[in-house]
Structure 1
Amino acid sequence: MTQRLTPGTAALLTTAPLLWAGNAVVGRLVHTMIPPITLNFVRWVLAFAILLPLARHVLRKDSPLWPHWQRYAVLGLLGIGLYNALQYMALQTSTPINVTLVGSSMPVWMLAVGSLFFGAKVTRQQLAGAVLSILGVLIVLSRGEWSQLLALRLVPGDLFMLLATGSWSFYSWLLVRTSEPAGLRSDWAAFLMAQLVFGLAWSGSFAGVEWSLGRTHIEWSWALAAALAFIAIGPAVLAYRCWGVGVQRAGPAVAGFFINLTPLFAALLSAAFLGERPHLFHGVAFALIVGGILVSSRR
């Protein structure tokens, strides 16, 4: 059951986009050092090692995880195996600003997935807000030139990010559709570890496919080590903890709007660390997406 949006819940749902914006910037910084799917796999191996002292009891034979393994296998696929791998693949050909702005279509995906698959009602205000958000995303995809849309000249990274956003929408709705014991969900480390058990299997399998295609070169350095440490601790463990608790408190539809803070943080971080200045069409797109939030949230 969702609750009223409190300052504490808002803080949790704001922390996650900040860390994920940092994840996009760091992913772009190291995109030539390590293959994208391998990066995702190594990230979650490190996160598993961090969580193991806190939640090793989840791996026991009598753990409440195993009677519900199918649910956690799906959560691990959507939230760990697919979403992050697709985002790192997107950053091979797109910038953090573009990737996070495309990800700002999240409220649209949340409404569509909730309505089509989870029986959630969609209001007229939410539809109007969705239209504004879609316009904002189209501006990003076209780089501010509508002729590019007519010619279907899309950067592959933008398409990967759209797929990632759809995957995350299903993941977020499944977070609040639960039948497992409350004890497993109330322990954030155990809840994430339960997803990681299967998420590692998915991400490792995808990395194996990447290696079979010959993409095995890794340029080890202190910079790459620092990047791996950050994305394992911040965007993986801390952000997932904040997002999971925030979604359970506020619900997926409300939480989805907070994803739109990610491009703002990404623009600031990109300017600081990558020297990538936002363009005018980025500002127009962000204004439309924010307008979608305001319209959708009106009662």
Structure 2
Amino acid sequence: MARYAKHPLALAYIGLVLTPLFWAGNAVVARGVVDDIPPTSLAFWRWVLALLIILPFGLRGVRREWAVIRDHWHRILILALFSVTAFNTLLYLAATTTTAINIALINSTIPIMVALLAFLLLGERTRAIQGLGIAVALAGMLLVIGQGTLGRLVGLSFSVGDLIMVTAVASWGVFSVLLRRLSVPVKSLTFLTMQIALGTAVLAPIYLVDLMFFSGGFELSRTTLPPLVYVAIFPGILAYAFWNYGVLNVGPAKSAMFMYLTPVFAAVLAWVFLGERLGWYHLAGGGLILVGLWFTTRNPPIAPARKTAE
């Protein structure tokens, strides 16, 4: 990370573009394995696998910075609860009772949720140019989800899964805002390792209850292993690392704007891997989202809350 220290904003923005790409794949996987892997099992074993992957790299930093972790463990626990434990577990649970398009629609409201919470909790005001960017990007997102017709948007139906997804978005919004307020002075890899470890520990008893009394778990096979590996590495380790770095360097509200890219990436992935048609509204909506991102990120960024890499 040292060679990127001179360009932390460039690295942050690259990571924030990749995060919705990985999350779009996460939504596709969640819908694809809904009949093979129970949502709580998918969430738990995703993080167990992620922890096993990251631990050899992060354990040294955890030992070296243990004194700081011991003094701030409660902060990491709170952040892990809203992110690792809650967000994806709720998303996977929502995927069992609602459609992918509804998940994309609700997930894309993260920028609005984060901007509101950043104002309420941090007093972070949205500039006029940023407000314009939010409006333009929101229009692009609705264009993609509505497939270019108002009737499709009006005709969307909502279910219990949608309410669960709203809760997931709220959880991620709280995490994004608190990430700056409850910043912990440790290296990024150390923080991510502890975030995953504590979040998985909180999720473990929830998984055990579900395993014993409800879902009964799943069978590890050639069908179920690849999705687990994907959600552990890409929307798990990499997306969380990129998001943490982006929020700490450019702020929660600006970082959240990149979530408008999720339905665009989802449409492209469906086109590439599922053979679904890529319509004009995907291209037009994606263009509007990029314009909105340009408006939102053109102002001087918020000063980082803490140093994240050395």
Do they fold alike, i.e. is TM over 0.5? yes
SS in 1 for 2:126: coil
Structure 1 match to 2:59: 56
Structure 2 match to 1:158: 162
- Note if contact 2:102-2:162 (Cα within 8 Å) is conserved in structure 1: yes
Aligned 1:131-150 pairs, distance under 5 A: none
State which of 31, 36, 59 in structure 2 corresponds to 1:33. 36
SS in 1 for 2:214: coil
Corresponding position: 1:108 with 2:102: no
1:17-67 Cα deviation digits (max 9, x unpaired)? 221212111222111111111100000011111122122242689442121
- When normalised by structure 2's length, the TM-score is 0.79
1:203 and 1:137, CA in 2 relative to 1: closer, same or farther beyond 3 A? farther
SS in 2 for 1:65: helix
Corresponding position: 1:119 with 2:118: no
Structure 2 match to 1:231: 231
For structure 1, the residue ranges without an aligned partner over 5 or more in a row are none
- When normalised by structure 1's length, the TM-score is 0.81
Structure 2 match to 1:42: 45
Identity rate of aligned residues, in percent?
35
SS in 2 for 1:167: helix
Whole-Å separation in 1 of the counterparts to 2:22 and 2:112:
22
State which of 89, 94, 99 in structure 2 corresponds to 1:90. 94
- Note if contact 1:80-1:199 (Cα within 8 Å) is conserved in structure 2: yes
Aligned-partner residue type, residue 199 of structure 2? G
Aligned 1:198-213 pairs, distance under 5 A: 198-213=198-213
Whole-Å separation in 2 of the counterparts to 1:74 and 1:218:
29
Structure 1 match to 2:12: 9
SS in 2 for 1:88: helix
- Note if contact 1:106-1:259 (Cα within 8 Å) is conserved in structure 2: yes
1:132 and 1:12, CA in 2 relative to 1: closer, same or farther beyond 3 A? closer
SS in 2 for 1:176: helix
- Note if contact 1:125-1:297 (Cα within 8 Å) is conserved in structure 2: no
Aligned residues: 292
1:242 and 1:32, CA in 2 relative to 1: closer, same or farther beyond 3 A? same
For structure 2, the residue ranges without an aligned partner over 5 or more in a row are 1-5, 300-310
Please report how far the alpha carbon of residue 16 of structure 1 lies from its aligned counterpart in structure 2 after TM superposition: 1.6
SS in 2 for 1:32: coil
Aligned-partner residue type, residue 158 of structure 1? D
Whole-Å separation in 1 of the counterparts to 2:158 and 2:101:
15
Structure 2 match to 1:18: 21
1:90 and 1:226, CA in 2 relative to 1: closer, same or farther beyond 3 A? same
- Note if contact 2:22-2:234 (Cα within 8 Å) is conserved in structure 1: yes
- Note if contact 1:97-1:270 (Cα within 8 Å) is conserved in structure 2: no
1:83-142 Cα deviation digits (max 9, x unpaired)? 111111222234444423421212111110001111111334444555566677778898
State which of 51, 59, 76 in structure 2 corresponds to 1:72. 76
- Note if contact 1:108-1:133 (Cα within 8 Å) is conserved in structure 2: no
